[in-house]
Each structure stands twice: as C-alpha cells, then as structure tokens.
Amino acid sequence: MKALLLENIHSEATRILTEAGLEVDARPGALGEDELIEALQGVSLVGIRSATHLTERVIQSCPDLIAAGCFCIGTNQVNLGAAANAGVPVFNAPYSNTRSVVELAIGEIISLARRLNEKNRLMHEGVWDKSAAGSHEVRGRTLGIVGYGNIGAQLSVLAESLGMSVIFYDIADKLALGNARRCESLDELLAEADVVTLHVDGRAANKDFFGEAQFEMMKDRAIFLNLSRGHVYDVDALVRHLKSGHIAGAGLDVFPTEPKKAGSPFSSELQNIPNVILTPHVGGSTKEAQVDIGRFVAGKLLDHVNTGGTQMSVNVPQINTEPFEGTRVLHMHHNVPGVMARLNNVFANHDGNITFQTLSTRGTIGYAITDVSGEHPNLQHELAELEETIRVRVI
C-alpha cells in the first residue's frame, strides 16, 4: 500500500506507516485539486492538514483511496459526505493540539493586555516608551469564550487560574468547568467580556457569523482573538473597529485566505495596525502537538488498514475492532432493510463459518465487519455485486 502525506506532517507519522510496511510519499506543501487527483492514483491513504481540500471530485477520481487523515482538529477541508458515500473513513486529531492552542491564546491575551508587541517594536526602533498607558493586568478581567469545546473548556480552566472571570457561549449544552458561567446568548457575552476569543468549528454555517454587528456590541477597548477558522469573522469589520479605537487589540492566527506553503507571501488589511498580533496558523504548531498528532492519526489510519477499525472516524459508522484470525470482511453499504440478510446469504453460499460479526450505522451508511473461518477468495467479488454495497474489502 501507498500513503501520501502533505503539508509537513510530522515525521512520526511517516515512521509509523513505513515501519508497518507502507510506501510513504511525504511532501512539504499543499496540492490543488488537479495535482491531488494525479498524486493519489494508486494511493490507499492520504494525510492532510488545513490547506489541502478533499473535494467530491477528488474522492470520486481516486478509487484506490481507502482512508483519509486530517492531521489537525478541523475537517471542513474534506467533503465528508462524499467520502462516506465512497466508503472512505476520515480521521482527525480532536485532542492532540488542544494544549498548544490554549497556551497561544493565554500568551496573546497577556501580551495584548500589556501591549507588549508594541513595546517590543518600539524598543527595536530605539524608542524607550516607559509608560503604563493602555496596559492592564488580566487578573480580574472577564474572558468571553465563544465555543466551549475541548479548546474552549481547557482555556477556561487556565484563564481562571490567572484570576480571570470566565463566561462562555455555545450552541450546545456544555458543562461549565470551575467557576465559568454559561451565557444564554452571544449578545450577553459580548456585553460583558473584556476579551472575546473564538473557538468554533469550521462548518459552513459559521461563515462570517462574527461580523459588524458583533464587533459593535463588544465593550469599548475590549480585545478580540480568533484561533479557530479564518472564514468565521469579517476582517474588514475588525479593521474598522481597530482603527477607530473601539477594539484595543486583536490576536489572529487564521485568515480567510491563507498561503498553501511556508515561505509564501502573505498580505492582509490587518498588517501594520497597532496592538495586533498576526501568526501564520500556528496554534497547534508545537513540536509536542505535532508529534502527538502524527502518532494519533497515523495510528487510526493503520488500524483501519489492518483491522477495519473506524473508532473516532468523523463521517462513517464507528466500530472498535479486535485482532482476528482467518478472513475479515469489511462491508460498507447503504443502510436499507434486508441488507444484512443478503450479506449473510453470500457467506452461507460459500459455506463460511461466521466466528464474529458486528454492525454499526450512521444515517444512510451501514458498516458490517464479519470474521469468517478459512479462506474464501471469491467473497469480495460477490459482495461487491450486491446492490447495496458501497465498498467491500477483505483482509
């Protein structure tokens, strides 16, 4: 089997897959749609980060692909429905870089409150600006977290340990940690928070959800952070509120349009505005996080190759597998009545003694794993002929 890893995925992933016997092609940058289709011919596994997009056309044009790994938290760069309909499970790393993103957020909150980036710039220019003007402690100030998932919740705990009061808003019902308080609406949070930080996912519905109206509702001289996704905020509106002085500072790690490769030119209206920290989408880019991500996602891909496991897949039914003996049949199918009876009828016609079988469903997709004693070379072909079959693989 071959694997293609793009966008500087950590060498730990290459090591794990190579030692398992796969031929790994690791490349530093992202690929466009046509380039990706060409590169994926004959490839079984693909690993990407946020700049490469697995579109419906890519997935349909690459029939050899059996699994995809997003070596990051987000999966909005993948057409998850198209992947599921092709029987391609998609895995991500929802926890591995959480601490790294949280530490960057904490560092930016302190730096912006103390205006350290401005002091640093002036010192390099030879200016001794010893002044407390506009500089504040974070202790006693209110942090408003929009999106109380893994990152938002951990940030909540660390911010509280610094003496901040924490409020949060999430569309889902989330348990508040420590003394954090849930807001009933985003408007309520914006009216109270001295610092507003976004930690929402990249779903299409979140595009431009934080715009002119939301910036207008923020407290005078509040601070704004976005370390989530570049399309969730209105850059032009943020620039207006920064230049007017309504917003005292901002920390941005993500942008609506980002270069595909390190070292590429970058341009934004946010450049050269006082008390604005711009970082090149490095929230999770620490050595510790990248090692953990490489190990975790590569392990999930390898588990699917070797056992058919889909535990923690984001788009297909999840099955946690065990080691097996004999023949294991992996059958992804349309979830319709009678499909398991037809599946087992094929096994019966081959005198296959079923030693283990499990089924999991997710919406319109069903996934059955069946262990059969002995070898049955014609099983895969006959199961592929079933009308309900999406993909069948025998290991």
Choose between 275 and 203: higher pLDDT.
275
When pLDDT is averaged across residues 235-244 and rounded to a whole number, the result is: 98
pLDDT in the model for residue 288? 94
Pairwise CA distance, residues 370 & 347, whole Å = 10
The predicted structure's pLDDT at residue 194: 98
What is the arithmetic mean of pLDDT over 221-226?
A: 98
On the CB side of 28, how many CA atoms lie within 13 Å of its CA? 5
Write the pLDDT tens digit of every residue in 61-118. Answer: 999 999 999 999 889 999 999 999 999 999 999 999 999 999 999 999 999 999 999 9
Residue-level pLDDT at 204: 84
pLDDT the model gives residue 377: 77
pLDDT at 339: 95
Q: To the nearest whole number, what is the mean pLDDT of the chain?
A: 95
| Lowest-confidence region among 32-36, 41-45, 345-349, 362-366 | 345-349
pLDDT of residue 360: 97
Flag whether pLDDT at 375 surpasses 80. Answer: no
Question: How far is it, in rounded angstroms, from Cα 14 to Cα 298?
Answer: 8
- Answer whether residue 376 shows pLDDT above 80: no
Question: Quick check: 374 pLDDT over 80?
Answer: no
% the chain with pLDDT above 90: 90
Average pLDDT over residues 360-364: 96
**Is the pLDDT at 155 greater than 80, yes or no?**
yes
DSSP collapsed to 3 states, the chain: CEEEECCCCCHHHHHHHHHCCCEEEECCCCCCHHHHHHHCCCCCEEEECCCCCECHHHHHCCCCCCEEEECCCCCCCECHHHHHHCCCCEECCCCCCHHHHHHHHHHHHHHHHHCHHHHHHHHHCCCCCCCCCCCCCCCCCEEEEECCCHHHHHHHHHHHHCCCEEEEECCCCCCCCCCCEECCCHHHHHHHCCEEEECCCCCHHHCCCECHHHHHHCCCCEEEEECCCCCCECHHHHHHHHHHCCEEEEEECCCCCCCCCCCCCCCCCCCCCCCEEECCCCCCCCHHHHHHHHHHHHHHHHHHHHHCCCCCCCCCCCCCCCCCCCEEEEEEEECCCCHHHHHHHHHHHCCCCEEEEEEEEECCEEEEEEEECCCCCCHHHHHHCCCCEEEEEEC
The reported pLDDT for the residue numbered 218 is 98
**Active site members:** 229, 258, 281
Predicted TM-score (pTM) of this structure = 0.83
Residue 283: pLDDT band (50, 70, 90) is very high
What pLDDT is recorded for position 2?
98
pLDDT tens for each residue of 293-311: 999 999 999 999 999 999 9
pLDDT at 358 (0 to 100): 96
